[in-house]
Amino acid sequence: MLHKKGKEVPQMLINFTVGNWMSFRDKTSFSLVATREQQHGDRLAKLGKYRMRVLPTAALYGGNASGKTNFFKAINFAKQFITRSLLPDYPIKVEPFLLDGAYATKPVLFHFEILVDDDIYELEFALTSTKVIEERLVKISSVNEKVLYHRIEGRSDPQLHASITSQRLLFAFEGTRENQLFITNSVFQNIPTFRNVFQWFDETLVLVAPDTRFESFEHLFTGVTPLYETMNSILPNLDTGIFSLEGEEVSLDSLLIPDELKQKVKEDAKSNMTIKLNDQDEKIIVTRDDGKLSVKKLYTYHKDSQGNNTRFEMRQESDGSKRILDLLPAFLDLANSTAPKVYFIDEIDRNLHSLLTQQLLKVYLASCSQTSRNQLIFTTHDLLLMNQSMFRRDEMWVTERKQDGSSSLVGFSEYEDVRSDKDILKSYLQGRMGGIPTTMADDIFVVAERHSYE
């Protein structure tokens, strides 16, 4: 993808490792570096500088409570901790593995390898509920590795690399609190040294939870943006009944929101400022121009039996239709964005028909090439997506919960007996790859039948 000025701006996730986070007791690594497999090779991002090919997508399968969402939460927590700053003395909301007492007080570990502006960076940090134990940032070129800084609990020396050492950075290091990352504080102090890495987490990495409502909906209120036009051109073809989206002027008093919130909106709406209200299903924007308050609400339109437009409240739409409205902007962003994104969508198939999910994925994958830099990672229960005509083996992963309650994450490419000409779904359902529910259904029904006679 190209930046607005025509300059390529590579931004990708290369690898993520987590340890002692929720059900992931042991260090678990997730790599998006392609193997030697040749299938769908034309869509892999080619990083010639590193002689590396990077995957544009990855699918995480697994049974209920196997660890898929915990993995999503790990990346989400790390993003928030990097890009937000806690108040002094606030606890860090780490969630270590709880089924082994020895791990309750051990640090939680996060390690990222990311591509930013044609260079690879490694950012890793270890945390407890009270402090950062260790933090390190490394810049990797095609010929060497440079430790930009290394922060260790109890050491006053920031170990800054000579090429970036400055009084401002030293001052920022001294002012970094125990419950805060050095990279975070330096950016908050307006020091640009690590801003490109910070912005990768803040702007490039986008996480979409199952209950996430599309955040940037204000673009849908105007008929002049590409997103608005594209959304309304695609919606009639998705079999939801929705013909178009329209933002219409309403009065603030007519909104079904608490009076206290209405008053707060009036007070907070300053001149030339936009306030977004995303109250459950309602999508509303409030602006104030020349002292006048303007309130617009997003509606869907359907065609009645005579072909006339009929307005629907967003709350009247089905869960599946609302899920499409939440996800479609992400797929449009992935397929057309001039600023590369890394999307991680948890439960991508939630409330969607399998064929529709497949179609969305195919449209995205068709847009990928050796020069594109967008990525889509997702978790799913939909086994119809376990399809080698769509995905390479190294793009498919499975999470499994072990008997001790810990989770593991394994790539399908690690199974030597799984070839492109074999039924990968059959192998999975037979339990040869793990990650399937172990419900012991026969025993459940025997117990239920016994209790029914007691």
Of 255 and 58, the one with more pLDDT: 58
Of 443 and 357, the one with more pLDDT: 357
Mean pLDDT of 384-397: 91
Model pLDDT, residue 329:
82
Residue 408 belongs to a domain: yes
CA 300 to CA 446: how far, in whole Å?
A: 49
Question: Comparing 20-24, 140-144, 160-164, 271-275, which segment has the lowest mean pLDDT?
Answer: 271-275
Using alpha carbons only, give the angle 234, 5, 221 rounded to the nearest 5 degrees.
Answer: 35
Among 26-30, 45-49, 153-157, 326-330, name the most confident range: 26-30
Do 193 and 149 have their domain in common? Answer: yes
Domain count, the chain: 2
Q: Which of 270, 296, 317 is the last residue of a domain?
A: 317
Identify the band that residue 254 occupies on the pLDDT scale cut at 50, 70 and 90: confident
Please list, in sequence order, all residues whose beta carbon lies within 8 angstroms of the beta carbon of residue 35, skipping any fewer than 6 positions away.
393, 394, 413
Mean pLDDT of 71-78: 97
Do 26 and 124 have their domain in common? Answer: yes
The per-residue pLDDT for range 193-213, each reduced to its tens digit, is 999 999 999 999 999 988 776
b/e map 321-351, b = 16+ CB within 10 Å: bbbbbbbbbbbbbbbebeebbbbbbbbbbbe
Do 305 and 342 have their domain in common? Answer: no
Element (H, E) at 298: strand 292-303
The per-residue pLDDT for range 391-445, each reduced to its tens digit, is 999 999 999 999 999 999 999 888 776 665 456 777 677 666 655 565 544 554 4
Do 21 and 115 have their domain in common? Answer: yes
Residue 105 belongs to a domain: yes
Residue 453 belongs to a domain: no
In this structure, the number of other CB atoms found within 10 A of the CB of residue 164 comes to: 14
Mean pLDDT of 292-312: 88
Among 229-233, 312-316, 395-399, name the most confident range: 395-399
Model pLDDT, residue 361:
92
Do 307 and 331 have their domain in common? Answer: no
The per-residue pLDDT for range 8-18, each reduced to its tens digit, is 456 899 999 99
Element (H, E) at 292: strand 292-303
* 53 closest CA partner among 36, 38, 34: 34
Q: Which of 289, 317, 345 is the last residue of a domain?
A: 317
Residue 202 belongs to a domain: yes
Range of the domain at 285: 241-317
Do 138 and 267 have their domain in common? Answer: no
Q: What is the DSSP letter of 139?
A: E
319-336 and 226-234 helices, crossing angle to 10°:
130
Mean pLDDT of 234-239: 84
Scan for tokens 């709880």, then name that residue: 98
End-to-end CA, the chain: 67
Residue 217 belongs to a domain: no
* 115 closest CA partner among 409, 345, 342: 342
Is the confidence at residue 118, as pLDDT, over 70? yes
If DSSP codes are grouped into helix, strand and coil, which group holds residue 342?
strand
Residue 117 belongs to a domain: yes
Of 300 and 280, the one with more pLDDT: 300
Mean pLDDT of 103-132: 96
Q: Which of 317, 344, 370 is the last residue of a domain?
A: 317
Do 345 and 379 have their domain in common? Answer: yes
Residue 231 belongs to a domain: no
Do 312 and 334 have their domain in common? Answer: no
Identify the band that residue 76 occupies on the pLDDT scale cut at 50, 70 and 90: very high
Do 282 and 353 have their domain in common? Answer: no
* 121 closest CA partner among 94, 79, 149: 149
Do 190 and 286 have their domain in common? Answer: no
Mean pLDDT of 252-266: 81
CATH number of the domain where residue 97 is located: 3.40.50.300
Beta strand 57-61 with 396-401 is parallel
Model pLDDT, residue 252:
83
Residue 425 belongs to a domain: yes
Length, in residues, of the chain: 454
CA 298 to CA 289: how far, in whole Å?
A: 20
Question: Comparing 214-218, 248-252, 439-443, which segment has the lowest mean pLDDT?
Answer: 439-443
Arithmetic mean of pLDDT over the chain: 85
Is the confidence at residue 154, as pLDDT, over 80? yes
Provide the strand spans (E) within 375-453. 375-379, 396-401, 407-411
Scan for tokens 């009076």, then name that residue: 259
Provide the strand spans (E) within 141-291. 145-152, 205-208, 244-250, 274-277, 284-289
Q: 424-430 — which CB contacts under 8 Å span 24+ positions? A: 424/386, 424/388, 424/393, 424/396, 425/383, 425/386, 425/387, 428/61, 428/383, 428/386, 428/398, 429/383
Do 45 and 159 have their domain in common? Answer: yes
Do 254 and 354 have their domain in common? Answer: no
Model pLDDT, residue 288:
80
Model pLDDT, residue 387:
85
Question: What torsion do the CA atoms of 200, 15, 372, 347 make, to the nearest 10 degrees?
Answer: -90
The share of the chain scoring above pLDDT 70, in percent, equals: 84
pTM (predicted TM-score) = 0.86
Model pLDDT, residue 130:
95
